[in-house]
Amino acid sequence: MNQTIRIGTRGSRLALWQANHVADLIKASGFRTEIVPIETRGDKVLDVAIAKIGSKGVFTEEIEEGLLDGSIDIAVHSAKDVASTIPDELEILAFTEREKPNDVVISFDNKFSLERENITVGTSSARRVAFVKHFYPKINTVSIRGNLQTRLARMESGKCDALLLAFAGVHRMGYDHLITETIETSYFVPPVGQGTIAVETHKKLSFEKKEIIRRWVNHETTENCLVAERAFLKTLEGGCSIPSFGYASMEADMITLKAGIISLDGREMIKIKRSAPIDQAKELGKSIANEVLSKGGDRILHEIRRKM
């Protein structure tokens, strides 16, 4: 039996951090690991919005090809980047324990606030742009893509006054000192999967390696929450360019999911929050998605896709 697990990942510093984190978890089992960096469409094209590149698989497709051709054993992704539907031959086998899921504001000005007048905030997320338009209509937004270091350089050059990012990435890269505000999930609801790492495999991966991944990498509570979130996203047929959101939490044997969609201009938002027993997590996600669609989400989605 091959005692090495080959890990495919993007080549950015954050992606490599995530791959090394998964590798460290696996090494406790006695298996060796090998990290294989793979460049994706999302890494190659930085001067256009994600929606213009393609809404599905922007950061995962090339890595999934490695799973399909057998050049890697597992693929490590930010869970928020994984499309709601993946190739039939593949499966998501594990989710790491979730980091704090909040969005944060970072700036070189430690007194920066979103309440200021005449400010510009950088983000590459359609959801964040829509939330800013909804909650902070006086703020200007500018599209800034690339790894965190690239975005910081663009902020330093004057492209924007602050950046809106996920706490997890900022924290993992050691830039906590630049955080000026942590935004509550009660109104800036995270996208599906924010804060956790997904491990994807080919269904034909050896039973022994699958058992290693499940035992040493998977975090059961996070997985239960992601089952609900991803069921919502799949039913909604959302993607990276769709300003949908979904965040589940667990208490005792109940899962609470808060999810919905917001129009690109931020004027209309449909948000539903409901709870269900753990064994009904998938059904909870589906039912909330169907309710969102029936309450006008289908119209919002149609309008968004018409403009894409």
- Just list the catalytic residues: 81
Q: Is residue 118 packed enough to be buried (19+ CB in 10 Å), middle (13-18) or exposed (0-12)?
A: exposed
Question: What span, in angstroms and rounded, lies between the C-alpha atoms of 248 and 225?
Answer: 5
CA distances from 53 to 48, 57, 88 (A): 7, 10, 23
* Radius of gyration, CA atoms only, the chain: 19
Question: What span, in angstroms and rounded, lies between the C-alpha atoms of 163 and 141?
Answer: 9
Q: Nearest Cα to 147, choosing from 122, 126, 169?
A: 169
Q: Is residue 267 packed enough to be buried (19+ CB in 10 Å), middle (13-18) or exposed (0-12)?
A: exposed
Q: Nearest Cα to 234, choosing from 216, 223, 246?
A: 246
**Sign of the C-alpha dihedral, residues 53, 55, 60, 61?**
negative
The encoded tokens of residue 213 equal 């991944």
H/E stretch holding 41: helix 41-44
Q: Nearest Cα to 80, choosing from 121, 122, 25, 125?
A: 125
